[in-house]
């Protein structure tokens, strides 16, 4: 043989080998059951197949042979099997002990599981093999058993059938472990068969919270809550009256975030007035335990409104904010799942109270040795321009205020060196406002009314040096605002002796330095038209 022809034959042989190997890799297994049953019972048993997906199985035929002294095969059932809806052609011959099955379809089979069920009638006793065989006709012709295309490698697994007088527990059909998300519904059924054909009762154990099992339909149903992520084992029990079997199914519940729910327990719209403080505490529920919630708004809050991260909304509308405002409140969790609610707030136009612009607070009123009236004009404005009326709620004895706001008081000597709280109300035709002022009175200032001074003057204190009191005199040729204060060597203000309006006259007052340490001090007089300062010495 020439070299080129030899190479060609080797190449062809390699191709054939590769093709044969490729076809031989396509395999399927068809299995008969190992059936056990009580005498005089008829039970369905499955013929099972391995995965048929992609194998182009559109037909099969075979014969099942058995010993009819132990059992009869009385037929088939296709309900819930691979050939459901397109039943095979069968021939039952219990006298000769065989069952013939032939099936064809334009649609190929797929998946693994029960090909079809055979009905086995158990006699009084005995055991027989269940064997796949070729179809042998009465005339001697033989039709070989087959399954799918000829290129498919088929493994035929035989079985057996035994008549048993000993009770066998029910046998559960296999159930794969299950996976479900929180908040989704999981439902599946279980089923068991009993070799003796005894009636089976079902129950379940270790059911998770919220799960149920219906024994009549053999159906397990559960919608896990959002706090039930984890793995659960559920036991299903089948009892034939004599013995029981247990099927354990593992269920994995995946943790799925659930959005929070914003609670807005208030009827919209809400009516408030300008100037009225409104507060609303938002709350929310989250099915997930330990969720971190944050409250916020979609859009811009009205001017002056505030919403904390804990959900406290507060707002006091200004007197220029009458109108309707729609606020979209929102809550979200740490995964940005959120819920929103809208609230409309209607702000009613409201009258504004008057505003004090001049009050007595901090005023020092001089008390004289003779009756001298002190007066002060309260002032206030009204945003709407309404007329304002003043009234006194609390004043010292002898004091009063006019409707126009003029406060007058002639303090007596027993009211010197004291503190007084004065409460005055200003009201328009709709509302009012209070002012609370604290004033103090000076020590008694002597006034000489016999001789009217012709010029301003501040005199040296007497005695000087002194311990601990001294007299300070000054004179006013005309009415003026007067300030008389004491300072230390560093210029720090030590005490205010006078700080009010006084009439023309001669004045003297005693300065008590009991609380001060020895040293040099200054006293300074300031009027509308005159300023002077003197030095004095305290010696203890």
The domain that contains 471 carries what CATH number? 2.60.40.1930
Q: How many structural domains does the chain have?
A: 5
Q: Would the pLDDT of 129 be above 70? A: yes
Picking from 145, 163, 181, the residue at the C-terminal end of a domain is: 163
* Pairing status of strand 432-448 against strand 419-427: antiparallel
SS3 248: strand
Strands (E), 410-492: 419-427, 432-448, 457-458, 469-476, 480-487
Note whether 394 and 423 are within 8 A (CB): yes
* Pairing status of strand 178-181 against strand 244-254: parallel
Q: For position 287, what pLDDT does the model report?
A: 76
SS3 13: helix
Cα(200)–Cα(189) distance, integer angstroms: 15
Q: For position 195, what pLDDT does the model report?
A: 78
Q: Confirm whether 364 is domain-assigned.
A: yes
With 0.75 as the threshold, say if the pTM is over it.
Answer: no
Q: For position 167, what pLDDT does the model report?
A: 80
**Which are the contacts of 1, defined by CB distance < 8 A and separation ≥ 6?**
none
Picking from 254, 271, 292, the residue at the C-terminal end of a domain is: 254
CA quadruple 249, 250, 255, 261: dihedral sign? positive
Q: Which residue has the higher pLDDT, 72 or 6?
A: 72
Question: Mean pLDDT throughout 13-28?
Answer: 50
Picking from 226, 254, 282, the residue at the C-terminal end of a domain is: 254
Rg (CA), the chain: 55
Locate 283 and state its tokens.
């709350």
Q: For position 451, what pLDDT does the model report?
A: 66
SS3 413: helix
Verify that 392 and 439 share a domain, yes or no: yes
Verify that 43 and 155 share a domain, yes or no: yes
Burial of 354 by CB count in 10 Å (0-12 exposed, 13-18 middle, 19+ buried)? buried
Verify that 420 and 511 share a domain, yes or no: no
Verify that 180 and 73 share a domain, yes or no: no
Verify that 42 and 151 share a domain, yes or no: yes
| Model confidence pLDDT, tens digit, residues 183-226 | 899 999 999 998 778 899 999 999 999 999 999 999 999 999 88
Q: Domain holding 321: CATH number? A: 2.60.40.10
Q: Confirm whether 216 is domain-assigned.
A: yes
Locate 528 and state its tokens.
């509308």
Note whether 486 and 494 are within 8 A (CB): yes
Verify that 504 and 401 share a domain, yes or no: no
| Model confidence pLDDT, tens digit, residues 269-306 | 999 998 899 999 998 888 777 777 777 788 899 999 99
Helix-then-strand count for the chain, H and E: 1, 48
% pLDDT > 70, the chain:
94
Q: Would the pLDDT of 16 be above 90? A: no
Verify that 36 and 127 share a domain, yes or no: yes
First vs last C-alpha separation in the chain = 147
| Model confidence pLDDT, tens digit, residues 439-479 | 999 888 876 655 679 999 999 999 999 999 999 999 999 98
**Which are the contacts of 176, defined by CB distance < 8 A and separation ≥ 6?**
none
Domain that holds residue 107: 27-163
Q: How confident is the model at residue 423 (pLDDT cuts 50, 70, 90)?
A: very high
Verify that 40 and 158 share a domain, yes or no: yes
């Amino acid at each position: 043989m020439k070299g080129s022809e030899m190479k060609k034959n080797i190449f062809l042989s390699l191709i054939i080998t590769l093709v044969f190997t490729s076809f031989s890799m396509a395999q399927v297994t068809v299995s008969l059951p190992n059936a056990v049953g009580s005498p005089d019972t008829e039970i369905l048993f499955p013929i099972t197949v391995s995965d048929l997906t992609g194998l182009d199985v559109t037909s099969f035929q075979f014969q099942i042979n058995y010993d009819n002294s132990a059992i009869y095969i009385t037929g088939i059932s296709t309900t819930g099997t691979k050939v459901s809806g397109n039943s095979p052609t069968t021939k039952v011959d219990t006298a000769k002990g065989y069952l013939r099955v032939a099936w064809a379809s334009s649609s190929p089979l797929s998946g693994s599981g029960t090909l079809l069920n055979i009905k086995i009638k158990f006699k009084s006793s005995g055991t027989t093999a269940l064997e796949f065989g070729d179809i042998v006709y009465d005339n001697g012709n033989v039709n070989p058993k087959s399954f799918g295309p000829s290129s498919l490698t088929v493994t035929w697994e035989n079985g057996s059938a035994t008549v048993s007088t000993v009770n066998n527990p029910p046998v559960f059909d296999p159930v794969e472990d299950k996976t479900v998300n929180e908040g989704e519904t999981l439902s599946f059924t279980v089923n068991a068969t009993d070799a003796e054909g005894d009636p089976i009762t079902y129950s379940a154990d270790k059911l998770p919270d919220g799960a149920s099992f219906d024994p009549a339909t053999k159906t397990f149903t559960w919608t896990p809550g959002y706090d039930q992520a984890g793995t659960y084992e559920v036991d299903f029990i089948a009892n034939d009256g004599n013995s029981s079997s247990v099927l354990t199914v593992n269920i994995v519940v995946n943790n799925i975030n659930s959005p929070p729910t914003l609670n807005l327990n208030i009827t919209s719209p809400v009516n408030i007035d300008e100037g009225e403080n409104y507060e609303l505490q938002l709350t929310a529920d989250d099915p997930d335990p330990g969720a971190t919630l944050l409250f916020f708004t979609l859009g811009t809050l009205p001017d002056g409104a505030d919403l904390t991260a804990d959900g406290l909304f507060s707002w006091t509308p200004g007197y220029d904010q009458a109108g309707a405002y729609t606020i979209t409140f929102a809550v979200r969790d740490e995964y940005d799942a959120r819920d929103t609610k809208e609230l409309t707030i209607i702000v009613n136009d409201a009258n504004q109270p008057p505003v004090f612009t001049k009050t007595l607070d901090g005023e020092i009123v001089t008390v004289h040795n003779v009756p001298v009236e002190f007066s002060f004009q309260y002032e206030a404005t009204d945003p709407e321009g309404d007329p304002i009326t003043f009234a006194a709620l609390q004043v010292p004895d002898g004091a009063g205020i006019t409707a126009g706001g003029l406060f007058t008081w002639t303090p007596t000597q027993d009211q010197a060196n004291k503190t007084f709280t004065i409460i005055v109300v200003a009201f328009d035709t709709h509302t009012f406002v209070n002012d609370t002022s604290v004033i103090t009175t000076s020590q008694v200032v002597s006034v000489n009314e016999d001789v009217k001074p012709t010029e301003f003057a501040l005199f040296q204190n007497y005695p000087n040096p002194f311990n601990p009191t001294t007299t300070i005199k000054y004179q006013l040729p005309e009415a003026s605002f007067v300030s008389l204060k004491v300072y230390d060597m560093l210029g720090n203000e030590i005490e205010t002796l006078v700080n009010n309006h006084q009439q023309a006259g001669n004045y003297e007052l005693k300065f008590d330095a009991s609380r001060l340490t020895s040293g040099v001090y200054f006293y300074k007089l300031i009027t509308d038209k005159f300023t002077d300062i003197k030095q004095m010495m305290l010696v203890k």
